[in-house]
C-alpha cells in the first residue's frame, strides 16, 4: 500500500480517533516488512507488511489495521479495530478493550481473551427489492420536493441551469469534471491536515448537494418534454423518469457507470457555470475570425 492509497483509510482512522475523543499524543504506522512491536505509541496503524505483538509483550494503546497483516500473540491493553487487511488474535492473546471489525479477515482463537467483540454489518440495500424501492422512493421524494419547489417558485433559476446543460454540454462537462475532481482532492488533503477537517467535511457535503442539484435539473429537463402542463408536476414526473434511467444505467457494466458519471459532472458543471442558476451561462464572444 503506497501513501496515496493509504491516505483515505488513514483519514478514516483519524476521524475515528477524533470522534472517540481520546487524548492521542503519538501515532505510528507500519507500511511494509515484518515488524515485532513490544512498545506502542498511543495509536498504532498497520497499513502493510506483517506486524506481530509477541507473546511476552503487553502493549498499552489502540491498534488499527487498514492493510497488511496484524498478529496478536501477547496482550493489547486497548481497542483493536480492523478496517481492511488481516487480523489474527492467537491462542493466549489478550485484548482488554473492544475488537471491532468493519472489513477484512479476522481470525480470533477461542483460547484468546477479548473484552468485547463487535462486527460491523454494512447495510445491504440491494439485498431485498423492498429496500431498493424504499431507497429509490426516498431519493425521489427529496429530489422531487426540491425540483418541484424550484420549478414552481424559481422557474428562471432551474431554467438557467437547464439551458447550460442542453446548450453548453461540453463546457459543463469540462468544468464539472475539473471542479469535482479538484475539490474532492482538495477536501481529502484538507482533512489530512486535521486543522481543516471540519471545513473538509462541510465541503464534501456541499459537493454532494451540488450533484443532487444537477440531478434535479436533469429531471426538470425531462419533465418539460412530457405532455404535462403544470411545471411542478412535470418536474416531479421528469425526476422520477430520470432516476429510473439512472437505475437502469447502473445495470449496464462499465458503460452504465461512465454514463452516470458523465451525467453527474455535466450537472455539476452547469450548476457552477450558472452560479447556481442565478445567471444564464453565456460563453465569451471572441471577436475576429471569418
Partner 1 sequence: MGIVRNIRQRRWTTVAGYVLFVALMVAGYYYNITFVQLGLIDLGTRLVGMTETTVSMWMAALALVTLVVAVVTGVTMDRRGWSTDLRTKFRLLFGVVCVQFALTLVAPMVRTVPEFGAWIVLASIGLGVGFPVSFSLAIDLVPVPDRGYVAAAITAIAYFLANAVPLSWSIDVFSQLMVAAMAPGLLVLAVLSFVSYDRLDDLLDDLGAQHGIYGTGRFCHGASVRTRSLTFAVPVVLMFGVFFIDSLGFLRIIDTPSLLLSSWQSPELSTRLFIAVAHVVGAVMAGVIYANYSLSRIFLWTFALFALTHVMYTSDLRLAAVFPTIAGNGASPLNPALYAIAVSFYTTLNFALWPDLSTPETIGTHSAIGIGVAGWLATFSSTALALYFQAVDLTLLSHLNVVQALSLLLLFGLAVGLYARQMIELARENGGARA
User: Which residues of the shown chain bind partner 1 in the complex (CB under 8 A)?
Assistant: 1-7, 29-33, 48-49, 154, 156-157, 159-160, 168, 170-171, 174-175, 177-178, 182, 185-186, 189-190, 192-193, 195-196, 199, 203, 275-280, 283-284, 286-290
Of 100 and 160, CB closest to partner 1: 160
Are 1 and 104 contacting, i.e. CB atoms less than 8 angstroms apart? no
Of 130 and 286, CB closest to partner 1: 286
CB of 259: closest distance to partner 1 in angstroms? Answer: 18
CB of 121: closest distance to partner 1 in angstroms? Answer: 32
- SS3 of the chain: CCHHHHHHHHHHHHHHHHHHCCCCCCEEEECCCEEECCCCCCEEEECCCEEEECCCCEEECEEEECCCEEEECCEEECCEEECCCEEEECCCCEEEEEEEECCCEEEECCCCEEEEEEECCCCCCCCCHHHHHHHHHHHHHHHHHHHHHHHHHCHHHHHHHHHHHHHCHHHHHHHHHHHHHHHHHHHHHHHHCCCCHHHHHHHHHHHHHHHHHHHHHHHHHHHHCCCCCCHHHHHHHHHHHHHHHHHHHHCCCCHHHHHHHHHHHHHHHHHHHCCCCCCCCCCCCCCCCC
CB of 107: closest distance to partner 1 in angstroms? Answer: 25
Of 117 and 178, CB closest to partner 1: 178
CB of 160: closest distance to partner 1 in angstroms? Answer: 6
CB of 120: closest distance to partner 1 in angstroms? Answer: 27
CB of 118: closest distance to partner 1 in angstroms? Answer: 29
CB atoms within 10 A of CB 130: 8
Q: Which three cell numbers stand for residue 102?
A: 468493519
Of 199 and 259, CB closest to partner 1: 199
Of 170 and 251, CB closest to partner 1: 170
Of 74 and 203, CB closest to partner 1: 203
Of 1 and 80, CB closest to partner 1: 1
CB of 265: closest distance to partner 1 in angstroms? Answer: 12
Amino acid at each position: 500500500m503506497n501513501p496515496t492509497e493509504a491516505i483515505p483509510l488513514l483519514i478514516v482512522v483519524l476521524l475515528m480517533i477524533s470522534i472517540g475523543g481520546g487524548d492521542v499524543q503519538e501515532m505510528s504506522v507500519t507500511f511494509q516488512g515484518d515488524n515485532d512491536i513490544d512498545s506502542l505509541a498511543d495509536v498504532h496503524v498497520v497499513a502493510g507488511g506483517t506486524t506481530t505483538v509477541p507473546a511476552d509483550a503487553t502493549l498499552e494503546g489502540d491498534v488499527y489495521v487498514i492493510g497488511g497483516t496484524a498478529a496478536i500473540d501477547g496482550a493489547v491493553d486497548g481497542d483493536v479495530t480492523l478496517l481492511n487487511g488481516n487480523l489474527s488474535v492467537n491462542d493466549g492473546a489478550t485484548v482488554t478493550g473492544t475488537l471491532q471489525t468493519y472489513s477484512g479477515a479476522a481470525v480470533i482463537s477461542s483460547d484468546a481473551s477479548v473484552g468485547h467483540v463487535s462486527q460491523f454489518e454494512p447495510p445491504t440495500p440491494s439485498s431485498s427489492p423492498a429496500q431498493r424501492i424504499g431507497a429509490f422512493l426516498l431519493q425521489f421524494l427529496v429530489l422531487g420536493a426540491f425540483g418541484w419547489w424550484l420549478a414552481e417558485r424559481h422557474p428562471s433559476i432551474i431554467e438557467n441551469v437547464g439551458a447550460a446543460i442542453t446548450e453548453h454540454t461540453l463546457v459543463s462537462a469540462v468544468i464539472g469534471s475539473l471542479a469535482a475532481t479538484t475539490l474532492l482532492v482538495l477536501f481529502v488533503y484538507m482533512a489530512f491536515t486535521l486543522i481543516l477537517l471540519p471545513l473538509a467535511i462541510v465541503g464534501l457535503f456541499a459537493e454532494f448537494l451540488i450533484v443532487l442539484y444537477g440531478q434535479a435539473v436533469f429531471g426538470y429537463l425531462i419533465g418539460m418534454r412530457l405532455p404535462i402542463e403544470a411545471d411542478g408536476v412535470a418536474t416531479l414526473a421528469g425526476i422520477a423518469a430520470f432516476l429510473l434511467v439512472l437505475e437502469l444505467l447502473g445495470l449496464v457494466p462499465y458503460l452504465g457507470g461512465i454514463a452516470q458519471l458523465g451525467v453527474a459532472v455535466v450537472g455539476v458543471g452547469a450548476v457552477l457555470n450558472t452560479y447556481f442558476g442565478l445567471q444564464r451561462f453565456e460563453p465569451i464572444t471572441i471577436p475576429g475570425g471569418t
